[in-house]
Amino acid sequence: MNDAPKNARPGKKATAPKETPPPTSEASVDKQGKQIFVHHLTRVEGHGNIVVSIDHNDKIETCRWEVPEAPRFFEAMVLGRSWRDIHHITSRICGICSIGHQLASLQATEEALAIRPSEQTHVLRKLALHGENMQSHLLHLGYLVLPDLLNVDSVIPLAQSHPKELKNLIALHRLANEFSRVISGRTTHPQRLIPGGMGKLPTAEELKDIRKQLEDSVPKLKAAAELFAALREKFPDFERPTEYVALVSEAEYPLYWGDIGSSHDKRKPARFYMDTAKEYMVPHSTAKWARNVKQSYMVGALARYNLNHAMLHPLARKVADQVGLTPMSTNPYFNNLAQLVEVVHSVEDSIRHIDRLLTKGLKREPYPKVEPRAGKGVGAVEVPRGLLFHAYEYDDDGRIVRADCVIPTNQNHANIQHDLDELTPTISGKSEAEIELTLSMLVRAYDPCISCSTHLIDMSGQEGGRGVRFVREPKAGESRKA
């Protein structure tokens, strides 16, 4: 599957003769086209390839999004492990979304074992999720997206050409890291978030300090909004009607919990996640793809914005107006604008939650007494790249007998491919450099976490073929659905 030309380098495009059967006549040689092979697309998490076939008239025939990474087997790793360990193991699925994975894991375990966290714990978890959202979005916008908009290959030249703008985004990113450390104990792979509560609380002084830093960040957020508003025209003008899926709630802009919402389907409780995330396999990907009522759907910041924009805080709404983001936006490149809007919302919402905690006073709560028992649970949280599900089944001793993790990028792979299919005819005839940049920007707009999305191997090479599923075989009369 990994048929990179010999001169291909990670992140570099290589132009190679299109692979066709050996020519049998001079005329057939004339009909040969060429390939643009973006081997290991840069400025994304993990490894993915873009393969473009162009005919002799410079018309793009096909464009394929490949995921060649070796599968990872986290669902298998947790089998037989105690409920006390699962959230620590599953946070290692991702170095960027470790807090989100840990919270989805905790939700699933708590539902299965009937553990009821306090209101204070829920508020602290929401703060942890805001910190992670800010960390990831600012990293992506500042270091991975901005170079495309300013016509350079990486963030490094921006230190010379746009030092003020870059330092502003770095300062915001540093604040997000510190915010995560104060709430979760670490900037990644947190230790304070445990089943039923918190292993250690932040102090009131730490909360007051981080609140002041969040409040002081508003001028920097406004400067970032001005920057991206000025660069808005750099995003390609491309629209494709799409199904959007995200958590929805009447109470807030939901990241921590809610029902599963869709722009094209009825609302469902999270425990019915398999009725929305219908996963399948394709031969050229080690990651699963997903569909719901349409041929594909999108999760992530743009999906959340389209479904929940009415719940944004005032400054976030103002920033959305400033950068020209309106619901229902169907331009996938604008996922990056939605990420910026969410950063502003996270700052506003975090200040509100911290005020709530300080007004009530932080209380050290007793460690929850947990009685292991057999049970099933589903966790659903919004992480930076979209909707994340963890589903577990425990035995009588509180050990995992079945696990299923549905990663946001898994759910986006099919939508990326369908976007590429519809985008490529519009850029036929452009230079190879323009084609490569336009397609690479599209994939990067999704902020894909490719490594986290590879969960199984298709041994057959056939669509719908048998994969390796690390789940306990259901007993007679049991349904696989959680």
pLDDT digits (tens, 9 = 90+) for 314-354: 999 999 999 999 999 999 999 999 999 999 999 999 999 99
Residue 239 lies in a domain: yes
Looking at the domain assignment, is residue 472 inside a domain?
no
The tally of domains found in the chain comes to: 1
Q: What is the pLDDT of residue 32?
A: 67
Residues 6+ apart with CB under 8 A from 482: 271, 273, 274, 376, 377, 378, 391, 393, 404
Q: What string of H, E and C letters represents the secondary structure of the chain?
A: CCCCCCCCCCCEEEEEECCCCCCCCHHHHHCCCEEEEEECCCCCECCCEEEEEECCCCCEEEEEEEECCCCCCHHHHCCCCECCCHHHHHHHHCCCCHHHHHHHHHHHHHHHCCCCCCHHHHHHHHHHHHHHHHHHHHHHHHHHHHHHHCCCCCCCCHHHHCHHHHHHHHHHHHHHHHHHHHHHCCCCCCCCEECCEECCCCCHHHHHHHHHHHHHCHHHHHHHHHHHHHCHHHCCCCCCCCEEEEEECCCCCCCCCCEEEECCCCCECHHHHHHCCEEECCCCECECEEECCCCCEECCHHHHHHHHHHHCCHHHHHHHHHHCCCCCCCCHHHHHHHHHHHHHHHHHHHHHHHHHHHHHCCCCCCCCCCCCCCEEEEEEEEECCEEEEEEEEECCCCEEEEEEEECHHHHHHHHHHHHHHHHHHHHCCCCHHHHHHHHHHHHHHCCCECHHHECCCECCCCCCCCECCCECCCCCCCCCCC
Whole-structure pTM value: 0.89
What pLDDT sits at residue 8? 44
Sign, CA dihedral 315-318-324-329, equals: positive
* Residue 411 falls inside a structural domain: yes
**Is 405 a known ligand-binding residue?**
no
pLDDT the model gives residue 3: 41
Do residues 110 and 122 lie in contact, with contact meaning Cβ atoms separated by under 8 Å? no
Is 63 one of the annotated binding-site residues? no
Residue 181 lies in a domain: yes
Long-range contacts of 258-262 (CB under 8 A, 24+ apart): 258/380, 260/380, 260/387, 261/307, 262/292, 262/293, 262/297, 262/307
The boundaries of the domain holding residue 392 are: 74-452
* CATH assignment at residue 384: 1.10.645.10
pLDDT of residue 33: 81
Per residue of the chain (482 residues), what is the pLDDT tens digit? 334 444 444 454 444 444 433 333 333 333 568 899 999 999 998 999 999 999 988 889 999 999 998 888 888 889 999 999 999 999 999 888 999 999 999 999 999 999 999 999 999 999 999 999 999 999 999 999 999 999 999 999 999 999 999 999 999 999 999 999 999 998 888 989 999 999 999 999 999 999 999 999 999 999 999 999 999 999 999 999 999 999 999 999 999 999 999 999 999 999 999 999 999 889 888 888 999 999 999 999 999 999 999 999 999 999 999 999 999 999 999 999 999 999 999 999 999 999 999 999 999 999 888 999 999 999 999 999 999 999 999 999 999 999 999 999 999 999 999 999 999 999 988 999 999 999 999 999 999 998 887 765 545 555 444 333 434 444 455 554 43
- Asked whether residue 32 is assigned to any structural domain, the reply reads no
* 150 within domain boundaries: yes
Q: Which two tokens stand for residue 205?
A: 């002084």
pLDDT per residue over 232-276, tens digit each?
999 999 999 999 999 999 999 999 999 999 999 999 999 999 999
Is 94 labeled as ligand-binding?
yes
234 found inside a domain: yes
Domain membership flag for residue 164: yes
β-partners of residue 262 are 245
The reported pLDDT for the residue numbered 31 is 52
- Do residues 470 and 403 touch, judged by C-beta distance below 8 A? yes
Instruction: Copy the structure tokens of residue 144.
Output: 């991975």
